[in-house]
Amino acid sequence: MMLFKSWKSYFYALLLHPTEAKVLIRSSNDNYYLPRIEITKRIWPSNFKAIKDAMEQELSIPVNILNYASYQVDRQQRKIQGIYLLEQHNPTDETNVGTWCDRKTLNSLSFTCPEQKSLIEEYLIELESSNIPKLRPPWAQPGWFSEASAWIEEELEKLEYQQLAPVEYVKSWSISCVLKVKTTAGNIYFKQASTLPLFCAEPVVTVELANLFPRHMPTVISIDRQRHWMLLEDFGEPIGGNVSLKVQQDIYRLLAQIQIQSIEQRERLLAVGCLDRRLDILQSQIDPLVNDEDALSKLSTAEIEQLHILVPKLKNLCSQLASYKIPETLVHGDLHLNNVALRKDNYLFFDWTDSCVSHPFFDLFELFLESNHQSFFGSLKGLWKWKSKKRLQDAYLSQWIHYESKERLLEAWKIAKPLCALHHAITYQHIIASLEPKYKQEFNSALPNFVREIIRSY
């Protein structure tokens, strides 16, 4: 049965020559191809470490992964196939596991997979012209890893941390890159996030939040404002979703307390780089969203028509929600239990890339999301989840009782539901518009799902 078929991941190396517009290819019986590795499990596109380790073993030289040139998932066959752009970690390293090929030579060769030849030509043209697409993130460009590693090592030396291992990847994808290095003070983490229109100045914002809430924020040990780099002390592993309901209740209560304490700090947070995404701004973003054909391209004509019909109602809901005495304040923007850790008996919130000042309830998108349960057992599970979400909702709203009565808080919660989905749909609208085309697939379902949540609310 397909259900029990193992996942297989096939990755091809598009290794760039260190000084010339050439790539490494192999041949067999006058047929050419890119070096390939096979991993007998599902590998996510952002898992650079697993791919890098396997590539280095295959090529017999240390490499850095720049980005993927292509990536496809066949769920029916449980198969993943990707072509990754690589650079040599040490440019003087020689490899004897293939032949360097320029564009002139490429034209005369026959490839086992013709699509590889087309892709190689595309990148060779890019190398010859030195014309890197404007939307390509810095960490996907040659030389970035070496530059970032050198900065990390320099900062560690200043801080008198002894480095015990080379810098390595934790995660790299279209909107951020995270590296890790083992030191005598534990693991130190490096992060750079994209400077997208609705992303905050994360290094500076994280420093400010750590000053305000030192027990519940990552400790930033160094930043580079210009390059949006930061080094963080180790804060342990994410809690994840497999924790008790009590733990989740404690986290949501704490989130509300931090948001309430942040009310008086709104101007300060805006000044350091949190985005202003308050209700009046959300209201002004509705028309641009519903008229954005590219953003809504994954939706059906009927869904788009329904969304247009809801525009007046959504604008009215923004005004209604603003009439409640619940102050707009700090919003994490991507709050889920994989962005929460437990450190020294304190819960810690990290990954503040999407942070802003907005309506606090917009952080609770996981409680607002609907579940679709078809079977009897699915319905029972759905009932259990509904009861759990209700208890989490109560834990969170109980902290806001000073501002409104319980009845009024529940009214505001109901109004906030479609607006929460709208807030996040607009986030993804701006993310997708700012990505190099090949990366857009990483967010194919996010925006349509949030739009459908808006529609389902009516």
pLDDT 10s digits, 33-44: 999 999 999 999
Q: Give the separation between CA 399 and CA 261, rounded to whole angstroms.
A: 11
Q: Give the separation between CA 115 and CA 217, rounded to whole angstroms.
A: 47
CB 362 within 8 A of CB 419: yes
Beta bridge partners of 185: none
Helix axes 446-456, 406-433, angle to 10 degrees: 150
Q: Give the separation between CA 299 and CA 447, rounded to whole angstroms.
A: 9
pLDDT of residue 95: 75
Which residue shows structure tokens 């869904």? 303
Single-letter amino acid code for the residue at 118: S
Q: Which of 165, 169, 64, 85 is nearest to 127 (CA)?
A: 85
Confidence of residue 370 (pLDDT cuts 50, 70, 90): low
pLDDT: which is higher, 236 or 212: 212
pTM score of the predicted model? 0.93
430 DSSP assignment: H
Q: Which of 427, 265, 423, 431 is nearest to 358 (CA)?
A: 423
The answer for residues whose C-beta is within 8 angstroms of residue 299's C-beta and 6 or more apart is: 307, 448, 451, 452
> Is the predicted pLDDT of residue 194 greater than 50, yes or no?
yes
> Is the predicted pLDDT of residue 301 greater than 90, yes or no?
yes
Mean pLDDT of 303-314: 97
Query: Which of 19-28, 84-93, 300-309 is the least confident region?
Result: 84-93
Q: Report the sign of the C-alpha dihedral through residues 272, 273, 279, 284, in that order.
A: positive
What b/e readout covers 13-46, taking b as 16+ CB neighbours within 10 angstroms? bbbbbeeebbbbbeeeeeebbbbebebeeebebb
Let me know if 196 is exposed, middle or buried by CB neighbors in 10 A (0-12, 13-18, 19+). buried
pLDDT of residue 383: 46
CB 49 within 8 A of CB 169: yes
**Which segments within 102-217 are labelled E, that is strand?**
168-172, 176-183, 186-193
H or E element at residue 315: helix 301-322
Confidence of residue 94 (pLDDT cuts 50, 70, 90): confident
Q: Which of 154, 178, 238 is nearest to 49 (CA)?
A: 178
Mean pLDDT of 362-383: 60
Confidence of residue 375 (pLDDT cuts 50, 70, 90): very low
Single-letter amino acid code for the residue at 453: E
> Is the predicted pLDDT of residue 379 greater than 60, yes or no?
no
> Is the predicted pLDDT of residue 8 greater than 90, yes or no?
yes
- What percent of the chain lies above the pLDDT cut of 90? 88
Beta bridge partners of 181: 188
> Is the predicted pLDDT of residue 210 greater than 50, yes or no?
yes
Q: Give the separation between CA 47 and CA 177, rounded to whole angstroms.
A: 11
> Is the predicted pLDDT of residue 372 greater than 80, yes or no?
no
Mean pLDDT (the chain, rounded): 93
Using alpha carbons, list the distances in angstroms from residue 210 to 23, 64, 203, 215, 438: 45, 32, 11, 8, 36
Q: Give the separation between CA 419 and CA 417, rounded to whole angstroms.
A: 5
- Phi first, then psi, for residue 447 (nearest 5°) are -65, -50
Q: Which of 50, 14, 83 is nearest to 171 (CA)?
A: 50
β-pairing, 186-193 vs 329-331, is unpaired
> Is the predicted pLDDT of residue 374 greater than 70, yes or no?
no
pLDDT: which is higher, 350 or 92: 350
β-pairing, 356-358 vs 275-276, is parallel
H or E element at residue 222: strand 220-224
Which residue shows structure tokens 């949540």? 453
Q: Model confidence over 398-448: pLDDT tens digits?
A: 999 999 999 999 999 999 999 999 999 999 999 999 999 999 999 989 999
Task: Set out the domains of the chain in order of their start, with CATH numbers.
Answer: 2-131 (3.90.79.10), 139-233 (3.30.200.20), 245-456 (3.90.1200.10)
Q: Give the separation between CA 318 and CA 278, rounded to whole angstroms.
A: 10
Q: Which pair of structure tokens corresponds to residue 205?
A: 């914002």
CB 296 within 8 A of CB 451: yes
